[in-house]
Amino acid sequence: MAGPVAPLLGWDFGAVLTVGLVALVLGAFLAGRRSRPMTSGHSTSTPPRDTALRRLLARRSLTKAGPLDPTVDSLTGLGHRVVLEERAPDLLSAAKRRGQVAAVLLLDADGFKALNDGLGHHAGDRILAETGSRIRACLRPGEIGVRLGGDEFAMMLGPLEDDNALDDRVHELLGYLATPVLVDDLRVSVGISVGSAISGPDGRTLEELLRAADQAMYAAKAAGTGQWRRSEGPDAHTDQQRLSEQLRGALDRSELVLHYQPQVQGWTGAVTGFEALIRWDHPDLGLLLPAQFLPLAERTGLIGPITLFALDHALEDHARLARMVPNCTVSVNVSARSMMGEGLLRDLERLLSRRGVPPGDLVLEITEPTPRPTPEVVALLDGIRRLGCRVSVHGFGSASSSLTGLWQYPALGEIKIDPSIIHSLSTDPETERLVRAMISGAHSLGMRVVAEGVETLAVAQRLRRLGCDGLQGHWIGEPASLTALQRWLEAWPSLRAHRLGT
């Protein structure tokens, strides 16, 4: 697995030129998508710049259907409630399967009746149509948007990594909806109140999530126009406080464990490494997935000790992993807060020495850095590279991704394309063009490309043809304990042809 090939101040000019050209093509493609009108009216609203990728993929959302489809609301282009009821169980199951969460949002236009009465029904229809168009543009593949009736809408988002991911999505949505709508040369601003409820270890049903989101929406309306409120539930504060106290002792009680998901080489199918994924073996709630407790760890300051736990135990397990697969890598997710700390380099050096692991066998997975690098982040990443460790950007493409921005971080050696993009690769030509551009641009900078979320044979075959270096996902192998992983490795040679189409 090759690391970054360009020195800090010595980028190959041809590589930079190539990625620049790729980025220009991709940028022009996305800009062309942005320039298309959202509706047939005269709206002057435009999507925020960081939703370009979402808009590129929005037309494949589960709510898209023909104009005569009885499940589609003719005014807004969104689905009717039946669409949500039919498709929500699949989204909830997908979130649970991936160790993530799903969120239900209820949206209600503030003061819509007064606007409708004062400006006329044609103006009200224009506002509703534009609201529906904006909701559709904010949906990612597989997500759901419906009109429940009147001026009330519902969205189901996910799978999402955690509460922080929901924060980003809702703030983006609110900013988009706040843009005035042009009605007969009059700019009309409409506040939208939003209430949200998120799935969790209790396995709430759609109806339970809708009731919770409805309560949160009325709390948002009581707080003023254009507000967002989360569902807390009557015992939420007590439950969170109790869970926080339990999490503090989970490290001492050895309740935190690591499972490992295999990564394979795209073309040959050879196993190249494993991603360490943390789990909490809760004595009462069972095995909790990261999305169910890491946001709590972030809020309570426990994310630092948990990150160190994951690093130490992954390096300890590396010896056994290397006996199974010689020269394999182990990847560990490092939180943004840990990246801001001054002691990360010292901790890495100490743990690598303690466990006797070659630095090149450790991959640190980070969230996508900002397009404008700060000296502190560049220095930290360069320090990690000098130690000999590798750095990977996971979830690439899920936010305001910038191929051209990557060259400013020469310590990066790998990108992992977000599952939200990979899932629709085999069915949408536009997604294939996007992934091809990502792979080409990353290769020009000497970076490997790993696809996360590979869940079908068709997607695996398409990625192999596009030259993707690594594949990871439930179709390849699910996260497992070391014992279960050994059984998977014994079976993989016979599974490989079926799973990769070789």
pLDDT tens-place string over residues 423-449:
878 777 888 888 999 999 999 989 999
pLDDT tens readout for residues 136-193: 999 998 899 999 989 999 999 999 887 778 888 998 898 888 888 888 878 887 889 9
Q: What share of the chain is helix, strand, coil (3-state, %, to 5)?
A: 50, 20, 35
Which amino acid is present at 154? A
Specify the CATH superfamily of domain 50-233.
Reverse transcriptase/Diguanylate cyclase domain (3.30.70.270)
Is the pLDDT reported for residue 50 higher than 70? no
Rounded Cα distance, 393 and 416, in Å: 6
Is the pLDDT reported for residue 31 higher than 50? no
Is the pLDDT reported for residue 61 higher than 50? no
DSSP letters for 1-62: -----S-TT---HHHHHHHHHHHHHHHHHHHHHHHS-SSSS-------GGGHHHHHHHTTST
Question: Where exactly are the structural domains of the chain?
Answer: 13-22+254-500, 50-233
Whether 502 and 496 have beta carbons less than 8 Å apart is answered as yes
- The H or E element spanning position 423 is none
**341 to 232, 294, 304, 337, 471: CA distances (angstroms):** 31, 18, 9, 7, 31
Q: Which residues contact 414 (CB under 8 A, 6 or more apart)?
A: 1, 363, 390, 391, 392, 393, 447, 448, 449, 450
Q: What is the CATH number of domain 13-22+254-500?
A: 3.20.20.450
Is residue 257 classed exposed, middle or buried when 0-12, 13-18 and 19+ CB atoms within 10 A define those classes?
Answer: middle
Rounded Cα distance, 428 and 82, in Å: 25
**180 to 147, 151, 487: CA distances (angstroms):** 20, 16, 58
Among 134-148, 287-301, 370-384, the range of highest mean pLDDT: 134-148
Residue with tokens 């014994």: 490
